[in-house]
Amino acid sequence: INAALCQLDDVEQDYITKLKSSESEMKAKTSIISAVGKQLCDTTDELNFFKDENVKATILIDSLTHDLETTKEARLEAEQEVARVKINLKKLKEKEVAKKNKAVEQEQVEMRKAFNDQFGEANKKYNALENKFRSTKDDFRRVKSDFENSSKSLKNKDVEVAKLKAALAGLEAK
Per-residue pLDDT at 96 exceeds 90: yes
Alpha helices in the chain (DSSP H): 2-81, 87-173
pLDDT at 120: 93
Report long-range pairs for 57-65 (Cβ below 8 Å, ≥24 apart).
Answer: 57/111, 57/112, 57/115, 61/108, 61/111, 64/104, 64/108
CA angle 27, 32, 38 (to 5 degrees): 130
Q: What is the pTM of this model?
A: 0.33
Q: What is the pLDDT of residues 111-142, one digit of tens each?
A: 999 999 999 999 999 999 999 999 999 999 99
Q: List CB contacts of 23: < 8 A, sequence separation 6 or more.
A: 147
Per-residue pLDDT band at 55 (split at 50, 70, 90): very high
Q: How many CA atoms lie within 13 A of 103 on its CB side?
A: 7
Q: In the chain, pLDDT over 90 holds for what percent of residues?
A: 60
